[in-house]
Chains A and B, each alone.
Chain A
Amino acid sequence: MSRMRVNPAREQASTPVMAAGTLAKPMQPGAPMEPGIPMEPQGPMEPEAQIAPQMADELAAREFEGMVAANRPHIFRLLLASTRDVDLAETLTQECFLKAHRSWGSFRGESSVMTWLMRIAINLEKDNWRNRRLQFWRQTRTHAVDVDEASEWLPSGERNAEQQLLAREQVQHVWRAVEKLSGRQRTIFLLRYVEEMELAEIAAATGLSEGTVKAHLSRGLSKVRAEVGGAR
């Protein structure tokens, strides 16, 4: 997925995202940006931009809105599979797109938007895990569902009851194996076998080398293989 390049003036004057597909009032052109976001040098403005800055804002907002709509389910799915907590996955997805919106102007398109978003989501999940460890007394409740409950989800398809039972058992075993994986191994495993990303994309999303990704994937897969094989 490649991102359409728009005028830098438009990129900086985009709108904050409040919820999926819901965009707040556009910022006024020239409004102060969030700290930490690099400002692109603005040369002499093109005649189009001078004439219709409002239109540029709307275009940028629509572009971001389209990006959110296209990628939100994937980000939500990864976070849901990582945390097994629907509420937390929703919160982190929201935070992910908020961060993406803040950095949207500095995104150079070196990787795909999806990879970039995945990277933000992975970092958010990591931060959340660290914070959770420190904030035990503030957040004693976890909404994460257990492995058995997570395994209940199966598309009905054209399967008979026996096949569904078998599939549920297999899913249960994979969940159990995934539960035992380290955080990094789990992320890589989910990116590969749930999001079906290529190794290079996973490497870009996790900030690791392809070799490291391969090694983690191999270790993770061998654990899954042992769990699935041990069930027989």
Chain B
Amino acid sequence: MNLRNSRTPEPMRLEKPGLEKPGLEARGLETQELEAQEKELNQALANFRQSVHAWSEAEYSRPRSLAPAAPHRSWRTASAWALGCVLAAGSLAGGLYDRHHHQELAAAAAREARAQQSAAEQQFQAAARQQDEKLFADMDRDVSQEVPSAMEPLAQLMDETNP
């Protein structure tokens, strides 16, 4: 192993604020427990370091061979592209459906608006016709009241000639 320094760096101790000061015996037990934990952590860190060194040395000294990487990545790349295509197709189809749905809604709304408009027009025309008829009727009545009857002048003449 090519180690620069065989000494493992001491991990920093973390204090636990807010703990009440226990008795001597309890404190001793706690200290022992903490020491055991520190020892275990040191051991774990040393093992980790040795493991990384061993792995690195093994990989570093492993003979290399140039191999085409394409066959290895084929299925993953293909699945990634397939997933991408499915997602793209899905979003496209969703977009088209949404657009079509919107168009249908708009057409229905236009139809309804047209129907409403024609109904309103018919109603308006009926009202106008009714109003005209009423107006003509009123005019006839007024004229008939204001104009003397057709025989009245003759009747006057008759009165004058036959006193």
Contact = CB atoms under 8 A, between A and B. Distances in A.
Interface centre among A89, A193, A195, A221 (most CB of B within 10 A): A193
Given A171-B47, A221-B12, A80 B73 contact: no
Interface in A162-192: 167, 170-171, 173-175, 190, 192
A130 interface: no
Interface residues of B, number: 37
A141 B44 contact: no
Given A73-B57, A80-B56, A154-B47, A141 B77 contact: yes
Given A73-B2, A137-B80, A174-B48, A225 B55 contact: no
Interface in B59-84: 59-60, 72-73, 76-77, 80, 84
A143 B31 CA distance: 44
Nearest to B37: A229
A154 B77 contact: no
Interface residues of A, number: 38
Contacts of A153: 51-52, 54-55, 58
B11 A225 contact: yes
Interface centre among B41, B53, B55, B73 (most CB of A within 10 A): B55
Given A192-B9, A196-B5, A221-B12, A154 B49 contact: no
Interface of A: 72-73, 76-77, 80-81, 86, 89, 137, 140-141, 150-151, 153-155, 167, 170-171, 173-175, 190, 192-196, 214, 217-218, 221-222, 224-225, 228-229, 232
